[in-house]
């Protein structure tokens, strides 16, 4: 495998302070914001996700890489808007009602952003009605529901039910420590990601199905 581009390498290593200068160097070299996202950011986060899945890195390293990518997006997002470049897909994500855990959810949101998905993050302790409203208002194609506690798994079921009863048809992906494929199928979710590392592949499989 070829060595990653310096910007990709900085993101993978979580060198947040180096990122703005490297982004500016790409722009100075004539690369568009879209090119930078597709050729440097997306591959970097794919490598981070793969390493996380393989237990080569863990949550702290992943968070540091995600923060480095955020620095790049701070510069690139206004340029993308100005150029009229829209993300290919959009998503709503949140931790379900009664659950205040956000690290896993934040990681998934950052991984999705790194894959050029527009993400509306509703935060934690999100009631079903708020998910329904956000999906409707944003015409979201994908919804991510997170729960870290077994006691909040019923809230996940209620949220899926509320989304479907509202007549909305986004792809619903769930995740969190106690969540399994079996539980996803049982409550009518479309998919499941065991961790943030597999969240992009799982999301793309659903969106492109």
Q: CA 127 to CA 104: how far, in whole Å?
A: 18
- What percent of the chain shows pLDDT beyond 90? 79
Q: What's the predicted TM-score (pTM) here?
A: 0.83
pLDDT digits (tens, 9 = 90+) for 162-193: 999 999 999 999 999 899 999 999 999 999 99
Burial of 50 (0-12, 13-18, 19+ CB in 10 A): middle
Per the domain annotation, does 1 fall within a domain? no
* CA distance linking residue 147 with residue 46, whole number of Å: 24
| Distances from the Cα of 54 to the Cα of 49, 50, 57, 67, 198, angstroms | 9, 6, 8, 21, 10
φ and ψ at 95, to 5 degrees?
-90, 135
Average pLDDT over residues 24-41: 95
Q: How many domains, the chain?
A: 2
Which residue matches tokens 């180096």? 18
Asked if the structure places residue 19 within a domain, the reply is yes
- Check if the beta carbon of residue 26 is closer than 8 Å to that of residue 7: yes
**Statement to judge: residues 95 and 42 lie in one domain:** no
CATH code of residue 77 = 1.10.1240.10
Instruction: Please tell me what DSSP assigns to residue 37.
Output: I
DSSP 3-state percent helix, strand, coil across the chain (nearest 5): 60, 15, 30
Residue 50 lies in a domain: yes
Name the pairing type of β-strands 142-146 and 117-121: unpaired
Tell me which residue range forms the domain holding 172.
89-207
pLDDT above 70 (res 1)? no
Specify whether 38 is located in the same domain as 64: yes
pLDDT digits (tens, 9 = 90+) for 135-169: 999 999 999 999 999 999 999 999 999 999 999 99
Q: For residues 55 and 153, state if they share a domain.
A: no
């Amino acid at each position: 495998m070829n060595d990653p581009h310096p910007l990709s390498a900085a993101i993978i290593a979580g060198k947040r302070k180096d990122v703005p200068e490297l982004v500016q160097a790409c722009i100075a070299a004539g690369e568009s914001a879209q090119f930078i996202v597709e050729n440097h950011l997306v591959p970097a986060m794919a490598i981070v996700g793969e390493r996380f899945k393989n237990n080569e890195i863990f949550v702290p390293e992943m968070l540091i890489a995600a923060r480095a990518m955020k620095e790049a997006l701070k510069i690139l997002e206004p340029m993308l808007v100005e150029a009229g470049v829209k993300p290919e897909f959009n998503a709503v994500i949140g931790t379900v009602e009664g659950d205040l855990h956000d690290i896993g959810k934040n990681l998934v949101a950052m991984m999705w952003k790194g894959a050029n998905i527009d993400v509306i993050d509703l935060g934690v302790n999100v009631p079903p009605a708020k998910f329904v409203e956000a999906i409707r208002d944003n015409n979201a194609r994908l919804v991510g529901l997170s729960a870290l506690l077994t006691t909040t798994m019923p809230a996940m079921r209620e949220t899926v039910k509320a989304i479907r009863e509202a007549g909305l048809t986004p792809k619903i992906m769930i995740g969190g420590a106690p969540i399994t494929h079996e539980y996803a199928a049982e409550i009518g979710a479309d998919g499941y990601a065991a961790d943030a590392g597999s969240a992009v592949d799982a999301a793309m499989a659903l969106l492109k199905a």
